[in-house]
């Protein structure tokens, strides 16, 4: 049972918000990735065209259940060695939470030339989150509500518990423009518009729950105010709503900005390095809307209910939201007026990127702040984070080592490496290589085709006939210099 619980917590996207693949998020050679934190990052990319063939990743974290004294490498090598005795519970925390993100990046591309950049991306995402689980619930989860007698016959109160899960496909179109050039400064603006295709979702807002577990057969509920919703038969829908990303960037060059047109044949396709750039953005504004006839909903607001033989409860497989239907005469009416919508994990971000040495070594610092969700909506809050990421980058090789303060409290170290078209990374490096208590896992990978130059910016080798009749190769500069 404990192994099943751990598997659900760590790997099942439908019941568990998210990290951001920090190691590849700010690369100048991977704008198909960086556009996810700021649409203007496409501008002044070091590739003219970045084509993502396929990418995938998952991140999960919680602060209750852990795998004791293990590394994920050891688990992968010998999964059968893990037993119930290896599962631990971190009891006594003030609140418990869990987060999960899974993504598949389907074929997509970003084009950057001159003062303009545009991108088109296809993908599938899954977000889920559980928040504000009270301290005493940890003991019930570990030991069982019926069995844990030390917590019987005590009055409890739970409030502001939020559970949400969301799965959807998407098509994202992005556009960015350098709207002003002044001395050595570039000022950029950009946006992304995303069409969603709903697959499935679930939500539970428990605003107030006062109760007493009297014994192993009686549960006394004094007051319950909650909204529940889920899709019993998840499937792909052409409807789903629209989302929006907005971003701005100020970039300071080491040379003159007025005559600089990145990745363009203008001015001979030359590149002017930047000293630093400062970006601000708001990402994932909006909600995914589920079809009206494909979700079930219940709103509860009642007092004084004696739940007898609660351990024998059998949920209605056709509608699990009707668990207290006999106690609620207005089950179709709740605090949430639009239960078909689940709000995206919206976040605001500030990014600072500094060119430390020769346009090869950079230092990035980024802040991500998740936006709160109203109690009148189902939705996900993005996990907060503060990251500092040193990186080395070139066309064929890139290496980064992000240091992350997850939720501003929990330190993590990641790593990412790009070798030609292939990128592999994690935001939880130590959990893979060092034995410790494992509270989560993270891994991501991409396969790309980066086209560095505009076709007219490429020099070429031509066969030339010498005076003595022999042929040899001679380099001819690109058309932009003719």
Provide the 3-class DSSP secondary structure of residue 186. strand
DSSP 332: T
Question: CA gyration radius for the chain?
Answer: 26
Residue-level pLDDT at 167: 96
Residue-level pLDDT at 477: 55
Q: What does the pLDDT look like over 273-332, one tens digit per residue?
A: 999 999 999 999 999 999 988 999 999 999 999 999 998 888 888 899 999 999 999 999
Element holding 9 (H helix, E strand): helix 2-11
Query: Residues 470, 471, 475, 477: is their CA dihedral positive or negative?
Result: positive
Residue-level pLDDT at 356: 97
Residue-level pLDDT at 270: 75
Instruction: State the pLDDT confidence band at 476, using cuts at 50, 70 and 90.
Output: low
How far is 126 from 17, CA to CA, in rounded Å? 9
Owner of token pair 């040495």 = 357
Contact predicate 199/169, CB 8 Å: yes
The percent of residues in the chain predicted with pLDDT above 90, rounded, is: 78
Which of 169, 214, 176 lies closest to 192, judged by CA?
A: 176
Contact predicate 110/44, CB 8 Å: no
Instruction: Indicate if the pLDDT at residue 210 is higher than 90.
Output: yes
Average per-residue pLDDT for the chain: 90
Contact partners, residue 154, CB within 8 Å, separation at least 6: 212, 213
Instruction: Indicate if the pLDDT at residue 125 is higher than 80.
Output: yes
Instruction: Indicate if the pLDDT at residue 179 is higher than 60.
Output: yes
- DSSP line for 359-425: TTEEEEEEEEEEPP--TTSEE-PPPPEEEEEEEEE-SSEEEE--EEEETTTEEEE-EEEEETTEEEE
Contact predicate 419/203, CB 8 Å: no
378-379 and 341-343 strand pairing: parallel
> Would you call 14 exposed, middle or buried from its count of C-beta atoms within 10 A (0-12, 13-18, 19+)?
middle
Q: How many CB atoms lie within 10 A of CB 201?
A: 28
How far is 321 from 275, CA to CA, in rounded Å? 56
Element holding 3 (H helix, E strand): helix 2-11
Owner of token pair 């599938």 = 124
Residue-level pLDDT at 481: 45
Instruction: Indicate if the pLDDT at residue 13 is higher than 90.
Output: no
Residue-level pLDDT at 8: 38
Q: What is the dihedral of CA 367, 373, 378, 383, to 10 degrees?
A: 20
Instruction: Indicate if the pLDDT at residue 80 is higher than 90.
Output: no
Instruction: Indicate if the pLDDT at residue 4 is higher than 50.
Output: no
Which of 84, 59, 85, 86 lies closest to 71, judged by CA?
A: 86
Could you tell me the CA-to-CA distances from 268 to 15, 183, 259, 297 in Å, in that order? 54, 20, 11, 61
Residue-level pLDDT at 406: 87
Instruction: Indicate if the pLDDT at residue 10 is higher than 50.
Output: no
What is the mean pLDDT of the segment spanning 180-199? Answer: 97
How far is 245 from 172, CA to CA, in rounded Å? 10
SS (H, E, C) 206-255: EEEEEEEECCCCEEEEEEEEEEEEECCCCCCCCCCCEEEEEEEEEEEECC
Specify the higher pLDDT residue, 383 or 391: 391
Instruction: Enumerate helices (H) and strands (E) in the chain, giving the number of each.
Output: 5, 26
What is the mean pLDDT of the segment spanning 96-112? Answer: 95
- DSSP line for 68-102: EEE-HHHHHH-GGG--GGGEEE-TT-SEEEEEEEE
Residue-level pLDDT at 6: 40
Residue-level pLDDT at 384: 92
Residue-level pLDDT at 18: 38
Which of 375, 300, 365 lies closest to 336, judged by CA?
A: 375
Instruction: Indicate if the pLDDT at residue 16 is higher than 80.
Output: no
What is the mean pLDDT of the segment spanning 85-106? Answer: 93
DSSP 143: H
Beta bridge partners of 57: 103, 444
Contact predicate 54/105, CB 8 Å: yes
Residue-level pLDDT at 12: 36
How far is 162 from 297, CA to CA, in rounded Å? 16
Residues written for the chain? 482
Residue-level pLDDT at 325: 92
Could you tell me the CA-to-CA distances from 470 to 224, 247, 460, 464, 473 in Å, in that order? 92, 57, 20, 8, 11
């Amino acid at each position: 049972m404990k192994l099943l619980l751990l598997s659900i917590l760590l790997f099942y996207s439908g019941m568990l918000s998210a990290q951001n693949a920090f190691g590849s998020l700010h690369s100048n050679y991977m704008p198909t990735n960086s556009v996810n934190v700021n649409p203007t990052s496409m501008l002044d990319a070091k590739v003219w065209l970045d084509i993502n063939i396929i990418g995938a990743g998952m991140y999960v974290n919680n602060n209750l259940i852990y795998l004791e004294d293990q590394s994920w490498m050891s688990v992968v090598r010998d999964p059968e060695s893990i037993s119930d005795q290896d599962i631990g519970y971190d009891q006594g925390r003030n609140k418990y939470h869990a987060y999960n993100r899974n993504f598949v990046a389907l074929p997509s591309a970003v084009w950057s030339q001159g003062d303009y950049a545009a991108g088109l991306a296809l993908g599938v995402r899954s977000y889920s989150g559980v928040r504000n689980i009270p301290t005493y619930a940890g003991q019930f989860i570990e030991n069982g509500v019926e069995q844990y007698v030390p917590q019987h016959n005590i009055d409890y109160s739970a409030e502001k518990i939020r559970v949400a899960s969301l799965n959807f496909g998407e098509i994202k179109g992005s556009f960015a423009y350098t709207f002003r050039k002044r001395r050595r400064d570039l000022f950029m603006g950009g946006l992304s518009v995303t069409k969603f295709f709903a697959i499935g979702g679930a939500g539970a807002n428990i605003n107030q729950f006062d109760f007493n577990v009297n014994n192993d057969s009686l549960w006394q509920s004094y007051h319950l105010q909650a909204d529940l919703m889920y899709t019993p038969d998840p499937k792909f829908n052409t409807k789903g709503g629209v989302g929006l990303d907005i971003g701005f960037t100020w970039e300071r060059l080491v040379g003159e900005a007025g005559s600089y047109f990145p990745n363009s044949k203008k001015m001979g396709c030359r590149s002017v390095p930047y000293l630093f750039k400062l970006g601000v953005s708001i990402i994932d504004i909006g909600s995914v809307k589920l079809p009206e006839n494909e979700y079930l909903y219940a709103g509860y607001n009642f007092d004084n209910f004696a739940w007898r033989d609660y351990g024998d409860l059998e949920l209605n497989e056709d509608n699990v939201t009707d668990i207290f239907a006999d106690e609620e005469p207005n089950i179709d009416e709740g605090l949430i007026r639009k239960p078909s919508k689940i709000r995206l994990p919206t976040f605001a971000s500030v990014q600072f990127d500094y060119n430390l040495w020769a346009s090869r070594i950079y230092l990035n610092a980024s802040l991500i702040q998740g936006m709160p969700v109203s109690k009148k909506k189902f939705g996900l809050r993005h996990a907060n984070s503060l990251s500092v990421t040193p990186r080395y980058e070139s066309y064929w090789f890139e290496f980064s080592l992000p240091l992350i303060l997850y939720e501003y409290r929990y330190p993590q170290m990641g790593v990412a490496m790009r070798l030609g078209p292939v990128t592999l990374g994690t935001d939880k490096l130590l959990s893979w290589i060092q034995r410790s208590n494992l509270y989560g896992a993270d891994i991501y990978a991409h396969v790309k085709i980066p086209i560095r130059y505009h076709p007219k910016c490429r020099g070429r080798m031509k066969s030339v006939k010498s005076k003595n009749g022999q042929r040899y190769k001679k380099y001819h500069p690109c058309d932009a210099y003719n």
